[in-house]
Structure 1
């Protein structure tokens, strides 16, 4: 039965994504905390435009770091929530629940692609801290797994039984 295969693959991918998004959330939260703790001492040595820039993080060597960390944190929180609700929606396996899972999965993938774009910019601009490299790697990996998961859920939507009222 094709729907059983789609359901099991989607469940495995959602569980994997839940773990990956939780790791991203933890690392990005640490980076935000570290940036807030050290921003006063580091930003005081910068020239005026950079000193008043609201998303400056002292652990990166460029201005893309702040955007990358913020969008990774948003994608991590939304992704973990989507994975949890997606697992619940898959357990129901009917058209309305799968449509909800498909839409939230696609939205999460779009946010993750945005964070991955900043990760690629970080990699392009040069050397970063090992924690940021770990966050970059996890963001790129979860972008691929989220895309697969979104595709599998969309296949499941076409196979799911529809409810007529």
Structure 2
């Protein structure tokens, strides 16, 4: 049974890596746009009435939190893929704890970002790139959980 789960874990690792890389690209774009188009605060400038330190010119009130946590989840997700590749390569009980723990942390951060994605969907005003990132975070929350189950289901020798 353990050897049957190795190809499943490998495919999920490749899928998750590609999706986390796309999430990193889109969230990096959104963060860059927010920094470039943020408020200029200095002498003679007053803060807008509803100033938010996490202001994003695209999207809605949840966009800043969604992009920030998606960026963090993407970085931790790529790190979990690296630990997962090491585990799949050696596939023994010594490499399982690091792969499982980083995958679990990446999954919880992905769930947090997915929660902000659902709030952003509820508020409705967003562009196509943010919609893509929302869909990827929802899909990643499922595929990351299946990956965790696969590496635990294929208990190594």
Partners of 2:47 and 2:149 lie apart in 1 by 46
Q: TM-score, normalised by structure 2?
A: 0.92
8 Å CA contact retained: 2:83, 2:98? no
Shift of 1:24: 0.3
Query: Corresponding residue for 1:47?
Result: 48
Partners of 1:116 and 1:160 lie apart in 2 by 31
Query: Corresponding residue for 2:21?
Result: 22
Query: Corresponding residue for 2:88?
Result: 90
Q: 1:139-160 deviations in whole A, cap 9, x for unaligned? A: 111111111101111212xx21
Q: Count how many residue pairs are aligned between Structure 1 and Structure 2.
A: 153
Shift of 1:81: 1.5
What 5-or-longer segments of structure 2 have no aligned partner? none
Find 1:76's aligned residue among 60, 71, 74.
74
What 5-or-longer segments of structure 1 have no aligned partner? none
Query: Corresponding residue for 1:7?
Result: 6
Q: 1:81-116 deviations in whole A, cap 9, x for unaligned? A: 111221112211111201211111111100000000
Partners of 2:61 and 2:99 lie apart in 1 by 35
Partners of 1:145 and 1:46 lie apart in 2 by 42
Query: Corresponding residue for 2:156?
Result: 160
Shift of 1:47: 3.4
Structure with more helix by fraction: 1
Q: 1:30 to 1:145 in 2, by over 3 A?
A: same
Partners of 1:84 and 1:17 lie apart in 2 by 11
Query: Corresponding residue for 2:144?
Result: 146
